[in-house]
Amino acid sequence: MIRHLKSPGLFAAIDRVPAPGTRAGERVFEVFNPSTGELLARLPDMGVDETRAAIDRAFAAQAGWAALTARERSDVLWRWHQLIVDHTDDLAAILTAEMGKPLAEAKSEVAHAAAYLQWYAEEANRIYGETISAPSTDRRMLVIKQPIGVVGTITPWNFPASMVARKISPALAAGCTIVLKPAEQTPLVAGAMFALAAEAGFPEGVVNLIYASEGDAIGRELCSNPKVRKISFTGSTEVGRLLMRQCSDQIKKVSLELGGNAPFIVFDDADIDAAVDGAIQAKFRNAGQTCVSANRLYVQSAVHDAFVEKFVEKVRHLPVGDGFDSDVAIGPLIDSHALAKIELHIADVVAKGGVVRCGGNRIGEKGTFFQPTVLTRISHDMTVAQEETFGPVAPIIRFEDADQVVHEANDTIYGLAAYFYASNLKRVWHVAEALEYGMVGINTGRMSSEAAPFGGIKQSGIGREGSRHGLEDYLEMKYLCMGGI
Ligand code: SIN
């Protein structure tokens, strides 16, 4: 049972979300609290047949949903937004219980989820076409925008509430219907959000949820079923590649938000205290389990020692523990595989001459807690600088030359997020333009917002989420040419 729930009815409704006819069989799977190992819930373990049934429902509902006025679709999104705001405390408690993040972070994530719904409730009313000056007088040429159709969405465990809203609110605003499979570790907050969606009054079949302990077969069905016209996925580059391959037979559209290897660069003209605070935020939010986490910190020689001293002092004092305990800044990692990966990265650093300045070890026997860790004397070729660590580990690389550091920062297959701290305006523009990333934080350690286009280049993904650009990703452009005028 989850502590602090104000309305246990919402939690009880999670189990009932999948529509009759889309839940068959007796199979169940279990959801655990990563801080305590406690069993939180047993959910129906749905498979290919149930996914197909959910797709059929979404397909049947598509034309009716698209035929509503933009204002009517917007009204339902507004009601859902309001219900999420009203249930923030319970949604946050469910999120902390199943994912582990500190309750304050969970509340901020629920607020962020609500902000996406608000944004796209507004944006639903702003879908515009265009008229084009025709090259001859007997023609008129126009462009209209129409919803893509049924969208299959697969969301990750690290932001189990905001990713649901970020993916499906633009799709719904555009007039698409959706089938969503949340991560098997964190299906509960998605279930609670869908229970509230039912209360908001979405017509039958517009939003459909699949609970499943195993994603491969569901993903394959979503990619290969011709009734699904687009896939939107957030997760690893490896899985994104696989889904894209599976979508290629039908030339199905994809939006992919994949892995990153974000550089965080501190130049010698930076405000060092601000850079330390920004690095704490960019590295340790969500215990380092975000795809925009600072993965490698580059600090210019003249300010390296001062930065390291201040940074280590703050990191040492970050409180780690159960997300429900007050003042906790860092919760557990999602599972034991995450712990093992971190340990491998640290062992590689130590074997190659790097230094553990603080942290470096698991905490306790119970749960999956790891000490916030700072590593120095890191070189670009160490595993920790090459691969996404996805944990509370900050490797620091000393650098001398400003052009060389941009070259090293770009020397990766990834291109999601980068950060840098500097004050010289010429340098700020030069570096911002030279970094090969979809998003660049300048003198800030946090940039995610419903108002901004979130997404990456290179092998970090395709498409953007948030802002007016996020809506375009769910619309098809149709050119109309009228002759004989
Ligand atoms: C992520 O996609 O991992 C980061 C999400 C966010 O910063 O909101």
CA distance linking residue 153 with residue 182, whole number of Å: 8
Asked which of 21-25, 383-387, 479-483 is least confident by mean pLDDT, the reply is 21-25
Q: Verify whether ligand 1 is closer than 6 Å to residue 158 (CB atom).
A: yes
What's the pLDDT score for residue 20?
63
Point out the catalytic residue in the list 98, 123, 291, 388. 291
| C-alpha of residue 111 to centroid of ligand 1, in Å | 14
C-beta of 460 in contact with ligand 1 (< 6 A): no
Query: Helix axis angle, 188-200 relative to 88-99, nearest 10°?
Result: 160
Q: In one letter, which amino acid is 129?
A: G
Nearest CA to ligand 1 atom 6: 448
CA of 61 to the centre of ligand 1 (A): 31
3-state DSSP assignment of residue 132 = strand
Question: In degrees rounded to 5, what are phi and psi of residue 438?
Answer: -75, -25
What's residue 24's pLDDT? 62
Ligand 1 pocket, residue 162 CB under 6 Å: yes
| Confidence class for position 23, pLDDT limits 50, 70, 90 | low
Ordered by where they begin, the domains of the chain are 8-258+460-481 (3.40.605.10), 262-449 (3.40.309.10)
Summarize the chain as % helix, strand, coil (round to 5).
40, 20, 35
Active site residue 109: no
Residue 190 CA to ligand 1 centre (angstroms): 16
Nearest residue by C-alpha to atom 4 in ligand 1 = 290
pLDDT tens readout for residues 154-185:
999 999 999 999 999 999 999 999 999 999 99
Contact by Cβ (8 Å): 275, 240: no
CA distance 314 to 296: 18
Q: Which of 110, 454, 460 to mutate to test the pocket of ligand 1 (most atoms within 8 A of CB)?
A: 454
Instruction: State the pLDDT at residue 159.
Output: 98
> Looking at 25-34, 196-205, 394-403, which range is the least confident one?
25-34
Per-residue model confidence as pLDDT tens digits over 75-134: 999 999 999 999 999 999 999 999 999 999 999 999 999 999 999 999 999 999 999 999
Judge whether 365 counts as a catalytic residue.
Answer: no
DSSP 8-state secondary structure symbol assigned to residue 286? G
Cβ atoms of 283 and 62 closer than 8 Å: no
Q: Is the pTM of this model over 0.75?
A: yes
CB 244 within 8 A of CB 219: no
**Residues 352-384 pLDDT 10s:** 999 999 999 999 988 899 999 999 999 988 999
Q: Residue 37 has what pLDDT? A: 93
Q: Whose CA is nearest to atom 8 of ligand 1?
A: 448
How many A from CA of 292 to the centre of ligand 1?
A: 6
Q: Is 232 in the pocket of ligand 1 (CB under 6 A)?
A: no
Q: Please tell me the distance between residue 22's alpha carbon and the centre of ligand 1 in angstroms.
A: 30
- Pairwise CA distance, residues 57 & 178, whole Å: 10
pLDDT tens, position by position, 321-349: 999 999 999 999 999 999 999 999 999 99
Ligand 1 centroid – CA 163 distance (Å):
8
pLDDT tens digits for range 459-475? 999 999 999 999 999 99
For residue 455, the CA-to-ligand 1 centroid distance in Å is: 10
106 C-beta closer than 6 A to ligand 1: no
Q: Both tokens of residue 41? A: 């819930």
Write the secondary structure of 351-370 as one string of H (helix), E (strand) and C (coil): HCCCEEEECCCEECCCCCEE
Q: How far apart are CA 144 and CA 137, in angstroms?
A: 21
> To which residue do tokens 């800030």 refer?
444
Q: Flag whether pLDDT at 252 surpasses 70.
A: yes
Query: How far apart (Å, rounded) are the C-alpha atoms in residues 189 and 92?
Result: 8
C-beta 96 within 6 A of ligand 1: no
Amino acid letter for position 108: S
Does 286 sit in the ligand 1 pocket, CB within 6 Å?
A: no
Token pair of 47, please? Answer: 């498979």
Q: Out of 257, 408, 450, 465, which one is annotated catalytic?
A: 257
Residue 6: pLDDT above 90? no
| Ligand 1 within 6 A of CB of 448 | yes
355 vs 336: CA distance, rounded Å: 24
